[in-house]
Amino acid sequence: MKKWFKGFVAVTLASVVLAGCGSNATGGQTDGKSSSADGKKKLVISTWGFSEDFFNKEVYEPFEKEHNVDIVVEIGNNAERLNKISQGSTDVDLIYLSDYYAQQGIQQGLFEKLDRSKVPNLNQIYDIAKAPLGEDYGPAYTVGRLGIAYNPELVKKNVTSWADLWGSEFKGNVTLPNITATAGPMMVDAASKVAGSKEFNEDQAFGKLKELSPNIVKFYSKTSEFVNMFSQQEIAGGPIMEMYFKDLQAAVPGAKFVAPSEGAYAVMNTINVVKGSDQKELAEEFINWQLSKEVQEKSAKAKVDSPVNTQVVLSGADTEGITYGTDVVNKLTKLDMKFVNDHMKAWTDRWNREVAQ
């Protein structure tokens, strides 16, 4: 047995965000030049294709004006974008990735070491968000939590624990994330806890997941699948990232989201400078801007990302639908992503053989 997670003072999330910047946005390969046609410096950012209008207006454009730079954005999912920089088929300077994929990039030697003296706003964020994958690499700019959402009309008891998913109330009407989804490894850990192991035990975890398998309507790979099943009452609930709970409430106003007593899981998104970038200092200035109170507060109020900057103070409706507050952050559990990456192939094979049948 090996303990492969640790208690985590984390921050806000799951929301995986960011998108294209105005007319500069592109989903393809860049032209390899460090400056634009108008002579301005160029900063190429690799990110997800979400919340484009917000990031264009509130994040990219102010930075462009302040630094006399043109931002070019490449969009895609984590795996696609990481693969592009691994193959050297893009001229990306800065990359947004979930911690799971960022760890892969670190192990492949794809990132520059961060000069923390160039990112003073690191002093304003939660300590654990400063170096989630080591001091040499980028911070988490947002952290969300994975908990349980359920429909109280279908589940009559108050859900308080991961173990409740194995109870009779969820017989034949529950969903779990697939092993290859962001939350998949978290459920392997949760199953080990439900089995009664104080430290992670792979055999007990997979035994418990196999026990739950007959009650699974579908192992979801996309959050939209969860939302659709929930709205059609094909499922009573299951594990989901808090940032998506508002979509469930839109379909089922009485839906509930809970942080299980054993601990909700931190889902972290990071920013790193790509190895070989000729705009390293500018990229580090952008990271500092992303961590600023101004950006973090606007992002939180727009429900785009949960804030990691501790100077952001929210109240009332602004706190709904995001992971916010020291009391919430201190209770989150963070997986050891190096351990996850080292074991992922074996877990995927075992999941396919023993669980997803």
For residue 36, the model assigns a pLDDT of 62
Question: 142 and 312 in contact (C-beta within 8 Å)?
Answer: no
pLDDT of residue 203: 98
| Domain spans, the chain | 11-143+268-324, 144-265+337-354
**For residues 16 and 256, which has the higher predicted lDDT (pLDDT)?**
256
pLDDT on residue 17:
34
- The rounded mean pLDDT for the chain is 90
pLDDT of amino acid 35: 64
What is the structure's pLDDT at 5? 46
> If pLDDT is split at 50, 70 and 90, which confidence band does 37 have?
low
pTM: 0.84
pLDDT band at 145 (very low <50, low <70, confident <90, very high): very high
Q: Does domain 11-143+268-324 have CATH number 3.40.630.180?
A: no
With b meaning 16 or more CB within 10 Å and e meaning fewer, what string describes 192-218? Answer: bbbbebeebbbebbbebbbebeebbeb
Q: How confident is the model at residue 40 (pLDDT cuts 50, 70, 90)?
A: confident
Structural fold of domain 144-265+337-354? D-Maltodextrin-Binding Protein; domain 2 (3.40.190)
Q: Which of 4, 352, 7 is nearest to 206 (CA)?
A: 352
Q: pLDDT tens digit string along 302-313?
A: 999 999 999 999
Residue 196 has pLDDT above 50, yes or no: yes
* Percent of the residues in the chain that have a pLDDT greater than 70, as a whole number: 89
User: Would you state the torsion angle of the CA atoms of residues 14, 317, 148, 156, taken in this order, to the nearest 10 degrees?
Assistant: -170
> Average of pLDDT values for 159-173?
97
Provide the CB-side half-sphere exposure for 14 (13 A, CA): 23
Q: Is the dihedral of CA 331, 342, 272, 89 positive or negative?
A: negative
- Split at pLDDT 50, 70, 90, the class of 39 is confident
Token pair belonging to 163: 């173990």
- The token duo for 221 is 């790979």
Evaluate whether 11-143+268-324 and 144-265+337-354 have a shared fold: yes
Instruction: Indicate the residue type of 327.
Output: D
220-279 confidence digits (pLDDT tens): 999 999 999 999 999 999 999 998 999 999 999 999 999 999 999 999 999 999 999 999
Closest of 242, 239, 243 to residue 226, by C-alpha: 239
Contacts of residue 221, defined as CB under 8 A and 6 or more positions apart, other chains included, come to 177, 178, 180, 181
- pLDDT value at residue 339: 96
Range of weakest confidence among 17-31, 33-47, 295-309 = 17-31
At 33, is the pLDDT very low, low, confident or very high (cuts 50, 70, 90)? low
Residue 272, pLDDT score: 98
**What are the start-end ranges of the E strands in the chain?**
5-7, 41-47, 69-75, 94-98, 140-150, 174-177, 216-220, 237-241, 256-258, 265-273, 333-335
First to last CA, the chain: 26
> For residue 22, what pLDDT band results from cuts at 50, 70 and 90?
very low
Evaluate if residue 8 carries a pLDDT over 80. no
